[in-house]
């Protein structure tokens, strides 16, 4: 029996993007005429939903703004395709790049992410911030991550849907989903893309959301790769205790309470890491079950 060609769904979260949708939807339908296009209207107060209906595009509306991640989860639950492409509705992502994502996915990957070129970032601050998050996430996962926060990606629906309960409702769903795929040994690839300049005001605040991304990376790292976080921390406490111990022994010939506290903290942190590893493994016990 010949292999059936996978079906495609394109999911786009939307919050007050009527003007951008008017320009984007015809290009998208031309680039992928056979795809299911699903716009998740996350409490928009403009005519975004009307624009979608005008162009014959499926739209699901939240009664109020629940968050970008919440829109992604709604889209994934309702998407009928074997493959889901997530992209922004603000015109940053070129519809023609979808085919490049699909071709890379066809090489055997389970997720393909469009990694933005340096020139695509809105400002030098954002470039520096994203570079820092990419390096930190690469350390936490043990895999090279070229663009942690890119919202332009293609995934195999059967795998992505298993992780919906882990995804936050905020803008950090790309962070969580990428780390979940790596932790489950599902191959992830990157292709370079040039993101266009969005029209209108960005919904992401650099300082506020940057701090949130940092905290989320630490949380996800503790959940998915606990010993990469706990082991270096434990070693640092042990080293501080040893230095304090040697210093007190040389100067006064005593063993200080401070050294004891640091040694005990080192052991407790190490044991917490082992326990976290066991808890982490429970999240993936059913990943291979169809």
Q: How confident is the model at residue 145 (pLDDT cuts 50, 70, 90)?
A: confident
What's the pTM value of the predicted model, to 2 decimals?
Answer: 0.77
- What is the rounded average pLDDT for all residues in the chain? 85
Task: List pLDDT tens digits, range 2-46.
Answer: 467 789 999 999 999 999 999 999 999 999 999 999 999 999 999
- 56: which residues sit within 8 A by CB, 6+ positions away? none
Whether the predicted pLDDT of 209 surpasses 50: yes
Asked whether the beta carbons of 187 and 109 are under 8 A apart, the reply is yes
Q: How confident is the model at residue 1 (pLDDT cuts 50, 70, 90)?
A: very low
Whether the predicted pLDDT of 201 surpasses 60: no
pLDDT higher for 287 or 149? 149
What is the predicted pLDDT for the residue at 84? Answer: 98
CA 216 to chain centre: 10
CA distances from 235 to 110, 135, 215, 263, 269 (A): 35, 21, 22, 10, 9
CATH class of the domain defined by 8-221: alpha beta
What is the predicted pLDDT for the residue at 205? Answer: 53
What is the predicted pLDDT for the residue at 61? Answer: 94
Average of pLDDT values for 186-196? 90
The residues spanned by each domain of the chain are 8-221, 226-282
End-to-end CA distance of the chain: 21
Average of pLDDT values for 229-257? 89
Whether the predicted pLDDT of 121 surpasses 70: no
CA gap 25, 211 in Å, rounded: 33
Task: List pLDDT tens digits, range 61-106.
Answer: 999 999 999 999 999 999 999 999 999 999 999 999 999 999 999 9
Q: Is the dihedral of CA 127, 131, 137, 141 positive or negative?
A: positive
């Amino acid at each position: 029996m010949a292999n059936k060609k996978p079906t495609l769904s394109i999911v786009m979260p939307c919050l007050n993007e009527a003007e951008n949708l008017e320009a984007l939807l015809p290009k998208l339908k031309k680039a992928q005429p056979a795809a299911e296009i699903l716009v998740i209207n996350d409490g928009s107060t403009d005519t975004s939903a009307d624009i979608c209906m005008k162009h014959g595009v499926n739209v699901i509306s939240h009664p109020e703004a629940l968050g970008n991640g919440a829109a992604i989860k709604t889209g994934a639950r309702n998407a009928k395709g074997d493959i889901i492409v997530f992209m922004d509705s603000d015109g940053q992502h070129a519809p023609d790049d979808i085919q490049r994502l699909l071709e890379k996915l066809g090489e055997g990957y389970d997720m393909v992410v469009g990694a933005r070129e340096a020139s695509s970032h809105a400002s030098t601050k954002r470039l520096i911030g994203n570079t820092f998050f990419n390096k930190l996430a690469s350390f936490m996962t043990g895999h090279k991550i070229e663009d942690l926060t890119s919202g332009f990606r293609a995934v195999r629906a059967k795998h992505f849907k298993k992780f919906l309960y882990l995804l936050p409702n905020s803008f950090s769903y790309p962070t969580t989903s990428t780390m979940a795929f790596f932790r489950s040994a599902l191959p992830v690839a990157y292709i370079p893309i040039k993101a266009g300049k969005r029209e209108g005001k960005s919904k992401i605040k650099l300082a506020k959301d940057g701090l949130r991304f940092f905290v989320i990376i630490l949380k996800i790292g503790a959940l998915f790769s606990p010993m990469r976080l706990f082991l270096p921390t434990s070693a640092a406490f042990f080293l501080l205790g040893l230095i304090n111990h040697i210093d007190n022994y040389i100067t006064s010939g005593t063993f200080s309470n401070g050294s004891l506290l640091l040694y005990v903290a080192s052991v407790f942190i190490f044991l917490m890491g082992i326990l976290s590893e066991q808890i982490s493994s429970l999240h993936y016990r059913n990943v291979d079950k169809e």
